[in-house]
Amino acid sequence: MLVINVLIRKRNFLFFLLLPRVRPSGSEYFPGQVRVNVWSERQGGPFFSGVWLYNRCIMKEFLKKLVRAESTAEKGELAAARIISEELRLSGITPAISDWGTNRANITAWISSTGRRRGLLFACHLDVVGAGDRAWKHPPFAGVQADGKIYGRGTADMKGGIAAIVTAIREIVDSGLKLQGDIVFFAGAGEETDSCGAKRFIRDQADKLPPLCGVIVGEPTDFEVVTAHRGLLWLEVTSKGTSAHSSTPELGVNAIGSMGAFLAELENYQLRYEPHELLGRCTMSVNTIQGGNAMNIVPERCSIGIDIRTLPRQNHQDVIDDMQEIFDKLKRKDSRFDAEVSIVRDVGALETDRKCDFVKDFCSAVGVQRTKAVGFTTDGPYFASLAPAVVVFGPGKPQLCHRTDEYIEISDVEKAVQHYKNLILKFLV
């Protein structure tokens, strides 16, 4: 920590007056925290001692490093977890990294308190989706700063949120404030693919956690307080045929033809659900298809990927049963029809009581009047078993997620630090 001692005498009184004005640019040069002590010749000790909190230049560099970690599911999250670990250690926090497979990783940190109040869990994800095929204005994994923004894959979803949460935690810890409830920080793997990190965290840590008053998921909501989102059910349907030389197709069973029949049925299929007052309807979209190996072979397999976005209280098993019913119907029409359905991913919907005390206090701490529901999905529902309320709240525009030229406004990350600190003060002090 850098300590600036200002001794007030007549001749440097002017300097003292100017000090507040030099702070913002001056702070760019100091790593970590700066304490300003103001002394007077007449008194024996400092009559003012203010902690000039953790400087924001460091936060930007931290966010850029996180972007450069390129934590796609293929490359793994370990590098990003290590960067966060180093950052937290600067404030004397000792995080734990749990890694598995090829560089897959979770990181958790626990800041203990007197335990008089229930704790707060900050939940994040380390992984990002790939950069896609389109050209970027700035390289997607360089963390380029321009026009008050930081560009790169994951800046909005959700490394900007991680940078803000880690910085807020560091500022609170560095300030020496006595907490009455624990802070638990978690950033996990695979949120974009199979939620492997969140599932692992809950499996290994759930019974070790302190009682929690709530969970804050720092995904990009552009500072909206999100208490509900739809769930998702990803299904793979595979039709099976019999290969044959395509000059004699009658000797085989064409799996692509079978899939065509299934897709025609799916066009007329109605999902069973009651519309939700905030989340609207359940939707379904067929998004991938693979089939066939060569121009002269009757294909023996064809598979499609279906993304279904579900509502709270909707039973996912009903959808799977309906698929099975369509198969049975097609088999009755043509006994050679053969298909199966498997679950690729299954995440429930999120629905936190908007009127509960946690949500009310949350809204007042961040100055928001109304909560919101969104169409996208997070790992939030996994954490619902740990605390009475899960709220999604973070910096960054949701419409920039997974897009070319993704960015986050630096001022939004700074604003988020203030919000997360206010939330810690509201719930844990």
Contact 372, 394 (CB under 8 A): no
Comparing CB distances to Zn ion, the nearer of 154 and 291 is 154
Comparing CB distances to Zn ion, the nearer of 254 and 378 is 378
Give the shortest CB-384-to-Zn ion separation in angstroms.
17
Closest residue to Zn ion in the complex (CB): 157
Give the shortest CB-3-to-Zn ion separation in angstroms.
39
Give the shortest CB-191-to-Zn ion separation in angstroms.
6
Comparing CB distances to Zn ion, the nearer of 219 and 224 is 219
Comparing CB distances to Zn ion, the nearer of 70 and 219 is 219
Comparing CB distances to Zn ion, the nearer of 162 and 184 is 162
Give the shortest CB-123-to-Zn ion separation in angstroms.
11
Amino acid letter for position 133: D
Give the helix/strand (H/E) hosting 168: helix 160-174
Whole-number Å distance between alpha carbons of 357 and 186: 23
Residues contributing to the site for Zn ion (CB under 5 A): 157-158, 219
Phi, psi of 327 (to 5 degrees): -60, -45
Give the shortest CB-104-to-Zn ion separation in angstroms.
17
Whole-number Å distance between alpha carbons of 202 and 199: 5
Comparing CB distances to Zn ion, the nearer of 300 and 406 is 406
Comparing CB distances to Zn ion, the nearer of 158 and 279 is 158
Q: Two tokens at 193?
A: 């693919």
Whole-number Å distance between alpha carbons of 106 and 114: 26
Contact 415, 395 (CB under 8 A): yes
Neighbours of 42 (CB within 10 A): 7
Phi, psi of 101 (to 5 degrees): 55, -145
Give the shortest CB-87-to-Zn ion separation in angstroms.
20
Comparing CB distances to Zn ion, the nearer of 33 and 377 is 377
Relative to beta strand 407-409, strand 149-151 is: antiparallel
Longest dimension (CA), the chain: 105
Helix (H, G, I), strand (E, B) or coil at 375: coil
- Chain centroid, CA 118 distance in Å: 23
CA dihedral 144, 149, 153, 158 (to 10 degrees): 130
Give the shortest CB-63-to-Zn ion separation in angstroms.
15
90, 26, 44: which is closest to 36 by C-alpha? 26
Give the shortest CB-407-to-Zn ion separation in angstroms.
15
Give the shortest CB-167-to-Zn ion separation in angstroms.
19
Contact 162, 85 (CB under 8 A): no
Contact 169, 185 (CB under 8 A): yes
Q: How many CA atoms lie within 13 A of 110 on its CB side?
A: 12
The phi-psi region of residue 276 (left if phi > 0; otherwise alpha if psi is between -120 and 50; otherwise beta) is beta
Comparing CB distances to Zn ion, the nearer of 158 and 410 is 158
Helix (H, G, I), strand (E, B) or coil at 296: coil
Give the shortest CB-157-to-Zn ion separation in angstroms.
4
Comparing CB distances to Zn ion, the nearer of 182 and 219 is 219
